[in-house]
A and B are shown apart, each in its own frame.
Chain A
Amino acid sequence: MNVQIILFIVLASVAAITSVAMITRKNPVICAVFLVLNFFSLAGLYLLLNAQFIAVVQVIVYAGAIMVLFLFVLMLLNTETEHKLFADKRAIKFFAILISAFVFVQVAYLIFHGSPSRTLTPDEAASVKAGTIQAIGEQLYTNYIIPFEVAGFLLLAATIGAMVLAKKKFE
C-alpha cells in the first residue's frame, strides 16, 4: 500500500468520525474540540490534494481564529448541557437522520453514476503548481481584485457589526 492511500484512509476516517461525534456529544465544549480535530484532518486532506496555501489557512483561520471565537463564547455564556433536550425529541431526531441519509444516498448515487474521474486525467505537476501561494496570489490580485476588495470591506463591516451587536446599550 502506498503512503498516500494510507494517509487518505486515516485522515478521511478521522474527519468522518469526528463530524459524527460532534453532532452526538451533549457537551458543547466537547463538540467544539471535535470540530477542531475535524478541521485539522481536513487540512491534512488539503495537503494530500497539493493545496498547501489552503491547508495553512485552514489551520490558522478555522482551527485557530474561528474556533477560538466559538470556545470563547461557549465559555462566556456558560450554557447548560442538553440532557433534557436530547431525551424527548425522538421524532425530530428520526426525521433529521432520515432526511440527511436520503440526501446522502442521492448525492452518492450521482457521484458514482457521473464518475467525474473517468473524464478527468489528473496532472500532478499542474495540480502542485495550482496549489502554490504564487498561483493563488496571481489570480487574487489580477482577475479577482474586485472580489478581494469586497471581501476586505465585508470583514470591516462584520467587525463593526459584531461590536455594535454585542454592545450593551445603543445610546
Chain B
Amino acid sequence: MSLIPMEYYLILSAFMFCVGVAGVLIRRNAIVVFMCIELMLNSANLTLVTFSSYLGNSIGQVFVFFVMTVAAAEAAVGLAIIIAIFRNKKTVNIDEINIFKW
C-alpha cells in the first residue's frame, strides 16, 4: 500500500467520476443514466477508502458502508420509478420523458 502514492488512487477516482458525469450528459437511456450515477458513487467510495486507509482510521469505511446502503435504496426506488414511467409512456428515453420540462 505504502509503495503506491495516494494521488494515483485519487486521480483514478476523479477520472471515473468525470466519465460518470459525461455518461449522464451523453446517454439518453434512463437505465444507463442510473448506471452512470452508480459509477460516480463508486468513485466517491474509492476516495473515502483511500483516505481511510492512508490515515489508518476506519471511519471513512463506515461512511462507505452508508453510501452503499443509500445506493441500494436509490437503485430500488429509481428502477421502480423507471418501470412506472415505462408502463405509462412505453419508453425509457429521457428526451421523451419531459412533462416537467418547460
- A residues whose Cβ falls under 8 Å from a Cβ of B: 2, 4-5, 8, 12, 15-16, 19-20, 22-23, 28, 31-32, 35, 38-39, 42, 45-46, 48-51, 53-54, 57-58, 61-62, 65-66, 69-70, 73-74, 76-77, 79, 82, 85, 89, 92-93, 95-97, 99-101, 103-104, 107-108, 111-112, 115-117, 120, 122-127, 129-131, 135-136, 138-140, 144, 147, 151, 154-155, 157-159, 161-163, 165-166, 168
Contact = CB atoms under 8 A, between A and B. Distances in A.
7 contacts: A4-B4, A19-B39, A61-B68, A65-B72, A117-B54, A122-B6, A130-B52
A117 B36 contact: no
Interface string B2-26: 1111111111101111111111011
Which 3 residue pairs are nearest across A and B when measured between Cβ atoms?
A: A126-B56, A96-B25, A158-B73
Interface of B: 1-12, 14-23, 25-29, 31-32, 34-36, 38-39, 42, 45-46, 49-50, 52-59, 61-62, 64-66, 68-77, 79-84, 86-87, 92-93, 95
